[in-house]
Every structure is written in C-alpha cells, then in structure tokens.
Structure 1
Amino acid sequence: MQHNQDAAPRVVTRADHTVSRANISRNALKVLNRLHQNGYQAFLVGGAVRDILLGREPKDFDVATDASPEQIGELFRNSRLIGRRFRLAHVHFGREIIEVATFRGGADDVETDGGGRILRDNIYGAIHEDVWRRDFTVNSLYYNIEDFSIWDYTGGFDDVQNRLLRLIGDPEARYREDPVRMLRAARFAASLDFTIETETEAPIAELASIINDVPPARLFEEVLKLFLKGSALSSFEHLRRYGLLQYLFPETVACMELPNAGSFRDLLRAALANTDQRVEEGKPVTPVFLLAVLLWGPITQRVAAIANERHGPVFWLHRATDEVVEGQQQYIAIPRRLAAPMREIVCLQPRFANKGPARVRRLLGHPRFRAAYDLLMLRIAVGEEDPALGEFWTEAQNEPVEAENPEEPRPRRRRRRRGPHRRRPRDQDDG
C-alpha cells in the first residue's frame, strides 16, 4: 500500500479510540505535559500506543517532539543525551526511563553505505517527515497530549485492528537500510500474533544473509528480545520459516537438519516453550540456559567428530564446547559473563553419571547445578538419558547425602611446619 507522504494525517479523536491517560505511565505523562506546556509538540509514539490499542500493558513509553535534544536537556535535569547515529534523551525517573526523540528529517538526508545501510542520522525535521522513518505502520501512531487524539499517516490504526504487520515504504530498501528490521518483523509477528503483509514478507528470505552485515553485539541484543520476551517458540519458528535462523545460529540449524536430529529438535522446542511459560508466570529467565540448549546439538556433534581414545569424554566435551562457542561468536557476540556459565551448564552433564556421595555433594553445591539439572531433565524427556538418572538427582536434592561413614569424624588436617625456626643471630654491635 502506497501513501502520499505530503498528505495530512487521519486524526482519530478520543471518542474513537481506546488510549486513555490511565494506561500511560505517570512519568511519561509528566514528560508529555512539560514539553507541551513549554510550547513544544509532544506525542506518545510507537509500541506503547499500539499495545494500548490491543489491550496490552506497554513495557516502555517513547515520546516524540519538535524540541531539540539540547532543549529537552534544559527542560529535564534528570535527562541524559545518548546515541551517535541519532541523538536522543533518556529522562530518568528512578528505575523508569522515558525515551524522548526529536522528530527526524527526510530519508534523503541520511548518510548510508554502499549497501544502503544507515551510518548517520542526526537530521531533525517535522512530524510528517519523522513518521516515514519508522519501521512498521502499527508503530507509527502518534498520541497527541494536546487533545488526546491519535495521528495516523500510514494506515497503522486499521492495521492494528486487522492484526497486520506492514513495513513503511519499499520493503527491500528498508531492509537494506537496516537488516535488523527483518528480525523485528519476525519478533512482532510472533509476539503480537500478527500476519506479515505479503509485500513486507516477500523479500525476507532472499535478503536474509545481509543480517551478517550487522555487528554481532547488536545481533546478540536482538536475540535476547526474540527469546526472552514470552514468545520464544513462535519467534524461533518464524526465524526458521524466513531463513533468518541460519545466519544467527548456523551450526544449530545444520544440526537440526540431520536425519537423526529429532531429539535435538524436541529439546529445543521444549526449552523455548518452558522459557515462555516462565515469562508468563513472572519467573526470571536467563539467556545462559537457552544458549546452552541452542548449542547442545552442535557440541555433541563436535564431540563425535573429534573424540579419540587419547583422552576421556569429559576432555572432549570441554574441547568441543570451546570450539563451538568460538565459532558462534562470529555471528552473535555472546558476552564473556554469559559464555562462561553456559560452558559450565554443558560441561556438568557427564558429572550426573557419577553417584558417589562425595561427587554428589560437590555437584549439588555447584552454582550452575540447577540449570545443568534442568538441561538433564530436558534430555531425559526427549529420550537422550535414562529416566532413573533424573529420579536419582531429583531425590538427591530433597534428601541430605550421607557420607560413607557418617559416624566417623573427619580427621583434622595438621598444619605442616616448614622447618625448625632459627633465631636471627645478634649483631655484634647489639652488645
């Protein structure tokens, strides 16, 4: 659907929409009202407007205005200017941050590289230019604090009602501008249960490889959004369908496509579904466990390829884990603080086979025991391990593990003396 970029917006009056100030954060309202009272335009924009229209509780509140970043900084002493590609303000209210962005100018003024990817974007403009810089129509609705109306330039209001995800502008050009938009399309379709509009969907599979033009650190942040927000399983299936997953986790995809990989595919789906359930129940989730599951198949495949009789299986598991994680870093940059515990979860798996009391006590006290145990139980559920092993470790957590001779006190270790203490000879001058 093409829109006239010079056309006036459709104005949806307060009587004709469901966005109420009662649904908006008090701190976001403070920002909107202060901007308006000081003569600036102020709009709530993006996902918050979309989510309220859908009857969902927004997680973040973003504000768009004609005030410059410096003017925003003068109005809000609790603000901080951030960003190099595009400057914006974060207004801090305790733990809540309201993001305030100046309207962006036309796309013709943006600096891009040879492939069309945006490099610099510090061009400010008016609302009728800003709207065409946004990604999807459903994220381009502006709630006006002046009269509580919604301004719609792109047909986004109807797309929300129809649960349709449509990219603004020419899809191929917009994806080349920022390849992460393909991941966002998959994520929004999954999390909102929207249908991706035909023209928006068509170029994704062909352009999927340009995902690797994005810095791995940024891709890691996108992976967290895909898998830790409550729609991990659906996001995973969308990524597979559009050929995007192979550019994020290539070895995982290769392993899933092996003829005997049924248990690994089941393991992945079970872990993703479990993560979604924890999010729904308000329980904490961590990327460490999911990363361990995503790489479990490639790691076991690598062990089979490199192991020999020179060393035991634990050695080869450590070696394979290091190699797979190192290879994965080329695609998404897993921070060291997460890579280290992920390795531990994987490398603890062989230790579950040892049921000696001392080994059991030691493993139960390991900081990664619970996550490693969860992986073990998933492996049992898909037929990789003996259910009796899971029963043993489930009971071990509920019962104190006795020493082999509990009545015998452990002998105290005696400190070893380094040798006879020799007095320092007195100096002749000491008298």
Structure 2
Amino acid sequence: MIKKVKNALAGSATEYHSDLLDPKVIPRGEHGISREGISDNALKVLYRLNSAGFDAYLVGGCVRDLIVGLQPKDFDVVTNATPDEVKSLFKNCRLIGRRFRLAHVVFGREIIEVATFRGHHQNSPDEKKKSPKEALGKQNQEGQILRDNVFGSIEEDAERRDFTINAMYYRVTDFTVTDFANGMQAIKNKRIELIGDPETRYREDPVRMIRAVRFAAKLNMQISESSAQAIHELGSLLSNIPPARLFEEVIKLFASGQGLSTFKLMQEFDLMQPLFPQLSPLLKDPKSRENQFIERVLINTDNRINTGLRVTPAFMYAAFLWYPIEEHTQKLMDEAGLNHFDAFNIAINDVLHRQIQRIMIPKRFSTTMREIWQLQLRLPKRFGRRAYQMLEHPRFRAAYDFLLLRGQVEGGALLELADWWTEFQEVSAEQRKNMLVKLREAEGGSARRPRRRRSSTKKPASS
C-alpha cells in the first residue's frame, strides 16, 4: 500500500532533498540541440532577458523533444525575473493565472510562456504566523497545490519539475543543457519517472498522472514501476481537478497524434473512470462495440493529425458520449414511456450536464456535438428534398463521418445507410435522382406524396 496522506504531508508541504538532483552540464556537441530547431520568437525572449541581466533558459518539453528529434509545438522559458519584470521588458506581454502566475509574450499566433523559477512551499503549524512564502503558496489537506507563486532558485525549480525528462535546461548564451535529474539517461532507458516520491507528487497535482500516460504514449516509453503503481491507487484524485483545466488536458491526451495508444494506456491505468464516468462502464469488455467505436474514432483522428489535417474536439467528445446517450435514451423510453425523439433529446441534455461536472466543454464545441448527434436521426430520412437539404447542412460532413464509423462497427442496416450516403455524395445529379427513385421503390412507395385537390362543383340548391 502507498503511504498514508499524513506521512506524505509531514514536515513542509512540499519537501525535497538535494540528493534528488545530480546536475550535469552537457556541452553543445553532446545533446544535439541546434538553434535552427528553436523558434525565432523564443530566441528573442531569451536574448532580451539575458541582455537585461536575467538568467533565462528553455525548459521542459521543448528541450526534451529537441533531444529526441521531435519538433516542439511550443517553447517554454524559465527565468529568475519575476512576472512583473518580464512584463516591463515586453510590450507584447500579458500576465495570466492565479494558481500559477505566468507571463505570455505574444508574437501573432505564437505565444512564448515565461515562468519564474519556482521555490518550495512552507507550512507553519500556527496559521497566524504565515511567512510571505506561505501567503503565495497554498495546498489543501490532500496535498494538492492550490496556489503556487513561491519563487526560488534554478535548483529549486528543477526539484519542482514533475518528470526527470522535463528537468533539462537549455542556455542560449553557451548552448549547454543542464540536466538536473538524469533526464538524458531516462531518455536512453525509455523510462518515465517522477522526481521525488510519486504519491506526494501526484497529490500535489493529480494531472501528472495523465501527463505520465501522455508522455509514455508520445515518446514510446515505459512508466517506471513506482510511478505506475501510484497511478492505480490515486487515479480518483483527478475528480478534484477543476473541469475547465481538464478540458485542455484531455485534448492533449487524444488529439496529439497518438490517441489510440494513449487510450489503451488510460484504460490500463483505470483513468477513464474519473474523466468519463458515464462511458467507463461500457468499456469493460475490450470487444464491445463501445470500445471498437472509440478505437476507430481515435485511429481516424490520429491519421488526420499525422497527415496535417484539422480535427475538432467536438467530434471526439461526441464519440465518447454517443453510447451513454443511446443507453440513457433507451432507459427513458422504458421507464418514462417517452417516444424515441423526446427521450433522445432529454438524454443529450442529461449526459452533457453530467459530463461537464468532470470536464467543462465550451459551448462552441457542445453546440457542434449536439448537431452531430441530432443529425444521426435525420440521416435515415432521405425522401423528397431531404437528401439534398442534408448535403447543404454545415455539419453534414462531420455527421456523415460519424455515421460511417458507427456503421463500420455495428454493420447491418446502419452500414447500408452509410454506404448509401457515400455513393450519393459522389455520383452525378441524374444518378442522385435515380437513387432516390430506387429508394422509394425499395420502400414500397411508402413515402408520402402530396395529394391532389379535387375540384368540386356545388350542386344548385333545389328549388
């Protein structure tokens, strides 16, 4: 069993020891990082901070990715300058965050995030005798960090990093990398390992559990035994994370090009339950239609991302909640005697409401999700002008893709319907007319036709 909470929180709120660090300075010729792979805007930030007399480094994922040969999606800078001092150097800077105070230096669509070296928190047994550090840093009784604006040295900052592979600092003044926690060796060993005690680090920030899974899938690495064991026992702590923060984290999980492998690891570590409690019970059987559908959606998403095509989180979330909606619809029909249409719309509202208690889905995405779901009921209705009107619907393509994936999993009439729409999009206008005629004939003329009015002549009144 993992140690009790009180042991994890004994002493200082975030207790570290210098023996966790073994800093090594790696010269330019041994780490393989070139300025050609670094964003010009990130270099501008580094140079200006250095020119103003501050220390500044690239840190974290961008350094790790450059070392393993990947192109970073963003570049993070860390410095001994405070957020206010950073803001004074850059007119295009804005300060954000309450839990973590950060500076964002904005260059058009690119944002360079600048953080000040983090320091260690201190707890005082007497609440009235709080030091300035304690006022800037706060943890709850379970050890989760609620406020983290305690600044410190680069050594303290390195100890505060989550994983050993993320505690590497690139310095542009001499092109060296300072590796504080044997991150280079962890990369060679293909191991994801936390800095410090796994229970304490996960309790500080439960999101580290899904970050461990994401890095393992992205970098094709294994999570170390001690770091993995703690995930199994502490996964429920993810329910303490604000829903708005989890939305962004889940997008990183499943929309980074390794969605399928990430999904399988999330199931292995039982982390789907705290994120998608309505879906999780439906995933227990690996061969279930729910599992097959999610896997097909993620394969499709991975292919699009890895070929440079755009994806929308709305499609992914719509897929994750589709079968919970179907299940709840049937329950409402059986228990309340509702017709399918009414039960379906109530189920959409109920399932969405429950989900946003865990993951806050912005309205711009939930609106698209609703349209994708509702169009699943309209796609079978193809007579008259309906088929042509459907093609003009702004969400038709997303709804069709959704239907096609459902058909590939469920087969039968659903797959026939998806195949019909596939052909209807590709053929000529004349062939579309023929398809609709054949469809009407196949239905036995059951489609309603407008009735002609009969001209009636009034008989003259009898005299």
* 2:36 counterpart of 1:36: no
In the comparison of the two structures, how many residue pairs are matched?
403
For the 8 Å contact 1:224–1:287, the answer to whether it is kept is yes
Q: In the alignment, does 2:286 pair up with 1:288?
A: no
Alignment match, 2:270: 243
Once the two structures are superposed, what CA deviation does each residue of 1:194-228 show, in whole Å capped at 9, x if it has no partner?
11011111110111111101111111111111111
Return the alpha-carbon distance in structure 2 between the equivalents of residues 291 and 231 of structure 1.
16
Deviations 1:40-63 (A, max 9, x none): 111111111100100000111111
Residue aligned with 1:306, SS: helix
Residue 326 of structure 1 and its aligned partner are, at CA, apart by 1.6
Distance 1:63 1:313, change over 3 A: same
What is the identity, as a one-letter code, of the residue corresponding to 1:395? E
Indicate which of 76, 84, 93 corresponds to 2:98. Answer: 84
Matched, 1:62 2:76: yes
Partner of 1:421: none
- The alignment status of 1:115 with 2:142, answered yes or no, reads yes
SS at match of 2:379: helix
Distance of 1:355 and 1:113 partners within structure 2: 57
Which stretch of the first structure deviates more once superposed, 264-273 or 101-110? 101-110
Q: Which amino acid aligns with 2:195?
A: I
Instruction: Quote how far apart the aligned CAs of 1:395 are.
Output: 2.2
**Map 1:9-408 → 2, pairs under 5 A:** 9-108=23-122, 109=133, 110-257=137-284, 262-307=288-333, 311-386=338-413, 387-398=415-426, 399-400=428-429, 401-402=432-433
Aligned to 1:251, what secondary structure does the other structure show? coil
**CA shift for structure 1 position 130:** 0.7
Distance 1:6 1:208 in 2: 25
How far 1:402 moved relative to its partner?
4.7
User: C-alpha displacement at 1:83, in angstroms?
Assistant: 1.6
Q: 1:252 is aligned with what amino acid?
A: L
Using the TM superposition, name which of 18-27 and 49-58 deviates more: 18-27
Distance 2:193 2:346 in 1: 45
RMSD across aligned positions (CA): 2.1
TM-aligned CA deviation for residue 93 of structure 1? 1.5
Paired amino acid for 1:393: W
Paired residue for 1:428?
Answer: none
Structure 1 residues 291-313: Cα deviation after superposition (integer angstroms, max 9, x where no partner)? 11111111111122221596542
Structure 1 residue matching 2:25: 3-state secondary structure = strand
Aligned position for 1:414: none
Is 1:5–1:128's contact at 8 Å kept on the other side of the alignment? no
Aligned CA distance change for structure 1 residues 8 and 189 (closer, same or farther; 3 Å): closer
- Paired with 1:172 and 1:199, the residues of 2 have a C-alpha distance of 9
Whether contact under 8 Å (1:142, 1:152) holds in the other structure is yes
8 Å Cα contact 2:22-2:182 kept in structure 1: no
Instruction: Determine if contact 1:292/1:345 at 8 Å carries over to the other structure.
Output: yes
What displacement does 1:5 show? 4.5
Tell me the equivalent position of 1:429.
none
Query: 1:296 is matched by which residue type in structure 2?
Result: W
Distance (whole Å) between structure 1 residues aligned to residue 363 and residue 241 of structure 2: 20
Q: Describe the shift of the 1:87–1:383 C-alpha distance in structure 2 as closer, same or farther (beyond 3 A).
A: closer
Taking a change above 3 Å as real, the CA distance of residues 243 and 274 of structure 1, as seen in their structure-2 partners, is same
User: What is the rounded CA distance, in whole Å, between the counterparts of 2:175 and 2:281 in structure 1?
Assistant: 51
Residue aligned with 1:201, SS: helix
What do the CA deviations read for 1:235-265 (whole angstroms, capped 9, x no partner)? 1111111111011111111122369x72221
Tell which deviates more after alignment, 217-226 or 388-397: 388-397
Aligned to 1:413: none
1:277 Cα deviation after fit: 0.5
TM-score by length of 1: 0.89
Q: Is the 8 A contact 1:379 1:385 kept in 2?
A: no
Q: Is the 8 A contact 1:36 1:145 kept in 2?
A: no
The amino acid across from 1:264 in the alignment is E
TM-score (norm 2): 0.83
Q: Distance in 2 between matches of 1:391 and 1:384?
A: 11
CA gap 1:389/1:156 in 2 versus in 1, 3 angstroms: same
- CA shift, 1:66, in A, is 1.1
State the one-letter code of the partner of 2:24: R
**How big is each residue's C-alpha offset from its partner over 1:332-351, in whole Å with a ceiling of 9 and x where there is no partner?**
11122211221221121122
The DSSP-based 3-state class of the residue aligned with 2:113 is strand
Q: Which runs of 4+ in 1 moved over 6 A?
A: none
Asked whether the 8 Å contact 2:22–2:181 carries over to 1, the reply is: no
CA contact (8 A) 1:212 1:247 kept: yes
Q: Is the 8 A contact 1:357 1:402 kept in 2?
A: no
Which SS does the other structure have where 2:106 is aligned? strand
Q: Relative to structure 1, is the Cα distance of residues 3 and 161 closer, same or farther in structure 2, using a 3 angstrom cutoff?
A: farther
Letter aligned with residue 57 of structure 2? F
Distance in structure 1 (CA, Å) of the matches to 2:33 and 2:347? 53
Q: What runs of 5+ residues in structure 1 fail to find an aligned partner? A: 406-431
Deviates more, 1:313-322 or 1:203-212: 313-322
Alpha-carbon offset, residue 86 of structure 1 = 2.5
Which residue type is aligned with residue 274 of structure 1? Answer: N
* Cα 1:388–1:345 shift into 2, 3 Å: same
Give the fraction of aligned pairs with identical amino acids, expressed as a percent. Answer: 46
Q: Is the 8 A contact 1:314 1:347 kept in 2?
A: no
Letter in 1 for 2:55: Q
